[in-house]
Structures are given as structure tokens and as C-alpha cells.
Structure 1
Amino acid sequence: MAELHCHIEGAAHPDLVEAHAARHGIDVSAIIHNGHYVWHDFTSFLAAYDLASSVFRTEADYADLAADHLGRLAAAGTIYAEFFISPDHAREAGLSPEAYVAGLSRGIAQARHDHDIEARMIVVGVRHLGAEAVERAARFAARPGQPLVTGFGLAGDERIGAPADFARAFAIARDAGLGLTAHAGELCGAESVRATLDALKPSRIGHGVRTAEDPDLVRRIVAEGIVLEVCPGSNLALGLYPDAAAHPLKQLVATGARVTLNSDDPPFFRTSLADEYAFAAQAGIDAGTRLGFTRQAVEAAFVDEATRRRLQDRLGLVAIALGAPSAGG
């Protein structure tokens, strides 16, 4: 497996949060019951997310977070992962963005050594903080000397601000050679995806499931090779669809769209990357196509070509073991 769409603070396992909360003297009992996060609507989800995130305050804390997250992914058979990081969140935690990245980089290195999993970071601008904040995040992402920061994205409340408001930030990131992705087509409809593609020209769309509502837009993303970072567990937990049968994953796959599977904020939604692949199997998507999700993720990953080839070689060995084609389908 491989993953392109996960928020690092949203990946914090409740056990790790409780351990760090005890270390820093923070009471998290209101949001964790019997080893699980507790929330009941989007507002309470955000409150739980913010409180859980507040226990990570030092460079070492973030090293622990990245190593724990990647170790859990590797144990489930994941060979590559990207995760979103927010310099604005680091500042709120009282940590410089530089120390934040340094800590997360330490965790990535530890996981690589201990579990043979590769990882990269995508800096995100938070759209509801405004265009200036997003541009500040882009300038931070574009700084030299951060080899594991390979992408830039747009996150936050999709209902706030037009995609065109963030075009300058994306130009900064593009000029720096960073990979580009943007959340769209989650809370808002297909038009959000279209406007994002027009204004920001990312190669990937975070979520993008609402694309399925517009056949013309589906044809466009197929023709342009846009990669969709689909997160079924998140979509269902937040009520975008009433049940699993209504989720458009299988529909999007049938159109030929380049789909990847991802976990978004996994413990908050009681999911995991392995669960997302199980969801696809339960939706009737065959093993070869599920392996294709991993292949798409590796092809779309924001990595140098040498790293991509190593990952493709590893994936080829998995395909051989499963009796599936090792390349091209």
C-alpha cells in the first residue's frame, strides 16, 4: 500500500496522545474514551482534533508522532506515505516551523531505519486563514534545505475563499519545483474541483469525490490525468454520503479516473489505510485494481525519480507474489 493524503496531527493515535498529554500535564479525558476519540459532529471533531494536537509541543514530540504513524503504516504493509504539515499549526503549538519540520524529519528517518518505509511531507496553507497566510506557507515550503518537504497543498474550510485567491501561493510553490495538490470536491460540489483546476493547476486533488456528480468534469480529469486522493472512511464519518453503498469510489474507478486510497485523519474516523483497501474490496473492486491504487500513488508521489523507481521495484515484487501484472495495469 501507499498513501498520499493524511494530516500528521490527525494521524495521532489515542495511546500516543494520552502518553504525551501526561508528559505535558494536559487533560484529554473529554475526547478519548476506551482508546478511541469521541466526537459527534464536525464542530466537536475539530475541537477533539485541536486538543489532541496540543499535546505535541516540541521537536522530539513531533519525531515521536511521525515515527509512530509511519511504524503503524509499515506494520500493515505500506511502503510509502506522504503527510500534510502546517507551519501555522506549529506556531500555534509554540514551535518554530523549522523545528517542526526537523522533528518530523527525525521521525521519518527513524521509521525508514526501523521499518523500511519511505515518506515525504507536504506543506499546506489553510485557506480559512486567508490568502496571505497561504502565501506565507508556500514561501516556507519553497525554502531550500528541506529535502523531505516535496509538495505544497491547500487545506482548510473549502467553503471559504475562491481558489483564485490562492493562485499566487501556488505559483510560488510551482516555481520552487514542488508537487501541487489541493483539497476540493469534499464539502463543496464539482464546481469546486473545476475552479481549483482552472486557478491552481494542481496535479492532484485532495478528496475530489464530488467530481462524480458532473460527467463533463469526470471526462476532464480523466483526459488530464488528474489524480484523486480519495478518503472513503473520512467521507462516511463526516456524513458526505449516507452509507457505503452511496460512496462514488467504484463509479470513479469505472470512469478510468486515476484514484488513490487514503485515510485522511485515521484514528479520528476509526479507519486506517488497510481499512480503506478493505472498503474497496467490499465495494466489489478486485485485487488487481486495488494494487493499481498503490501503483497510482507511487506514480503520483512527490518524490525524485530514483526513489520512485525503488518504490516501483518493491511494488513489482508484491505484484509477482500476488500473481498480478507488475506494471502498466
Structure 2
Amino acid sequence: MNVADLPKVELHLHLEGAAPPKFIRRLAKEKSVDLSRIFDDGGNYAFENFAHFLQVYEAATSVLRTPQDFARLTQAVLEESAKNGVVYCETFLSPDFCGGGDVSAWREYLQAIQETATKAEKETGVTLRGIVTPIRHFGPEKAKRVARCAAETAGDWIVGLGMGGDEGQGRQGDFVYAFDMAREAGLRLTTHAGEFGGPESVWDAIRDLDVERIGHGVRAIEDPALVRELAAREITLECCPGSNIELGLYPTFEDHPMRALRDAGVPVSISTDDPPFFQTTMRREYSMIAQAYSWRESDFRALNECALNAAFCNEVTRERIRKILETK
């Protein structure tokens, strides 16, 4: 079997960041908003570095203004996931973009997203779950409001809290209150670290926030003691190689440390992060990784098993997805 055809589990996907450029251009036209500056001549998202990427991301998100906009976005994203063989996905959702951090407004957005996801699952076969996401560069106070939204809607569909945004703003420990609130509500925890923040940001995430997964985390490879700690604690890294390469962390897939981390006993998984921004897909990630590392079908099945074990869903959902992975 071509490894790209395997059923896939994806743990690290930003819903807004997965918006196809064509979808955002169409929505901008409907709302009479000029977003031409964020696209290149081919109609793709255009940015120069990570800081510029965040600006382009937030500009694209600016036309997502209503629950119905997010319902349409969810449908478009899940259709793309299905094309790439994804059978289970956890997506980051920010109440900052869905109602401005107001719990009542957030519930309206969430209802639209969840209803669309439930209907789309029957059509596409993709099971979606949500991880509520404070935006780091929006600051700790806004993170508290986001965490309250997460705590108020925690359950079988909203399953976790996971901070994104600019790692250069503040420290992981600044957000302890928000993460403690989510933990008390029964939510599972992850956070972006070890991408631009270096290995120390991963140490901070472990020590200060006590997370069980790390978004990216690949720069842990620079600290052997940290690698051993991740392996000993069985903290899963949500690796997004194509994203890291596109943003300049590593020049090629061959240079990406995911293989070395896995060889050292660190649990790793494969995700796309913000796929249309980085012109990637889950099929492409699998193909490029297989070529770079000479990994075979058995390796990718093991990676999917690792991702499923680290997923934040309930056990009923986990076992249902496991059967799909085993039979395809």
C-alpha cells in the first residue's frame, strides 16, 4: 500500500489556519473586504516570516464573523481532511475569533461548528473534536476568558485546551491560571512550544503547565536531557514537519528531527498545522516523510497508533477509530 493512502489521525490542526484560500477569497468578496494583500499571484497565502504569517493569518480570519461562517469553514476543512484519508482530527478553536471570548457568544459559534461536524462525519467519515485555544500574544488576561469558555463547554466534543500564537510573547508560566481552570474542568492539556521558543520553552511547558502533549516540540532535540524527559514521561509531540520547513526551522524533511526524536523513544505524531498556508496536506506529509526517512507502512501505522493513544477523545471514540485504523 502507498503510505499516503493509509487512514490517518491528526492531532494538530488550526481550524482557521486550514481555511482554503479560495474559501477566504470568496467570503471576503461576499463581505466586500479587500484581502488582496495576503495572497500571491497564484491565489495562495503569502508571507515572509513567522511574524508576517501571524498577521496574514489574522487578516484571513477577520472575514470569519458569524457562526454560519464557521459552519461553512468546518464543512470545507472536513471535506479536505477526507480527501487526505484523515479519519480522526483534533482542531484548535479560539473563542477570541468566535465571539470575542464571551461565553454566551462562544456557545453559539460552537453549536454551529459542532452541528456541522456531526453532519459532515456521516458524509465524510472524519471524526472531529475541538481543543480550545488561547492566543499567547493576546496575553494572560484574555487567556483566562478563553479558558472559562473552554471550562463551560467541556465534554465529549470540546476535549482539551492548547495555547497557540507567538512563542516570543511572555512565558508559558504566565498562563498557569488558564490551564489550571481547564484542568479542573476535566480538559486535557497541550501547548505550542519548542518551535521558535527553543528547548527551554518545552521545559517551561512541562514544569509550569504540566501538559501531556506538546505542539511541535521539535527543538527539544537540542537538549539531550529534555529528550530523555519527554521519553520518560511519554509526552507526545504533535510534529508538523512541512510547517517547520516552510517557516525556516529546517531546510528539508531529511534535516527535520522527528526521526531522531522517535528513535530516542519520544512519542511523535504527524500533523499539518495550517496546511494551505504551508501548501501541504496529510498525504504530502506522509509521502515526503516516507521518502526522507525510508519509513514503511508499519512505521506509519505505529505513528497513527501513537497519535490515537495520545488523542484527547473519550475511550468509546478511541476504540471506534482504532477499529477503522486496523481494518483499512
What TM-score results when the alignment is normalised by the length of structure 1?
A: 0.92
- The equivalent residue for 2:5 is none
**Aligned-partner SS, 2:250:** coil
Structure 1 unpaired stretches of 5+: 319-329
- The equivalent residue for 1:306 is 316
Residue pair 1:65, 1:107 contacting (<8 A) in 2 also? no
Residue pair 1:71, 1:115 contacting (<8 A) in 2 also? yes
- The equivalent residue for 1:291 is 301
Structure-1 separation of matches of 2:162 and 2:49: 25
Work out which of the residue numbers 87, 95, 100 in structure 2 matches 1:79.
87
Structure-1 separation of matches of 2:96 and 2:159: 18
- The equivalent residue for 1:34 is 42
Residue pair 1:56, 1:93 contacting (<8 A) in 2 also? no
Greater CA drift, 56-65 or 22-31: 22-31
**Aligned-partner SS, 1:158:** coil
- The equivalent residue for 2:277 is 268
Query: Higher RCO, 1 or 2 (CA under 8 Å, sep at least 6)?
Result: 2
Work out which of the residue numbers 103, 128, 141 in structure 2 matches 1:132.
141
Structure 2 unpaired stretches of 5+: 1-7
Residue pair 1:62, 1:107 contacting (<8 A) in 2 also? no
**Aligned-partner SS, 1:90:** coil
Structure-1 separation of matches of 2:322 and 2:106: 32
Work out which of the residue numbers 3, 9, 19 in structure 2 matches 1:12.
19
- Structure 2 residue 159 is the aligned partner of structure 1 residue 159: no
Deviations 1:255-297 (A, max 9, x none): 1211000111110011112211122101222221112221111
- The aligned amino acid for 2:28 is A
Deviations 1:150-196 (A, max 9, x none): 11011121122222221121111111111110111000111110111
What TM-score results when the alignment is normalised by the length of structure 2?
A: 0.92
Residue pair 1:6, 1:262 contacting (<8 A) in 2 also? yes
Structure-2 separation of matches of 1:93 and 1:278: 39
**Aligned-partner SS, 2:14:** coil
**Pair 1:130–1:38, CA change in 2 (3 A):** closer
**% identical aligned pairs:** 41
Residue pair 2:236, 2:267 contacting (<8 A) in 1 also? yes
Residue pair 2:220, 2:227 contacting (<8 A) in 1 also? yes
**Pair 1:27–1:282, CA change in 2 (3 A):** same
Work out which of the residue numbers 44, 51, 59 in structure 2 matches 1:43.
51
- Structure 2 residue 77 is the aligned partner of structure 1 residue 69: yes
- The aligned amino acid for 1:217 is L
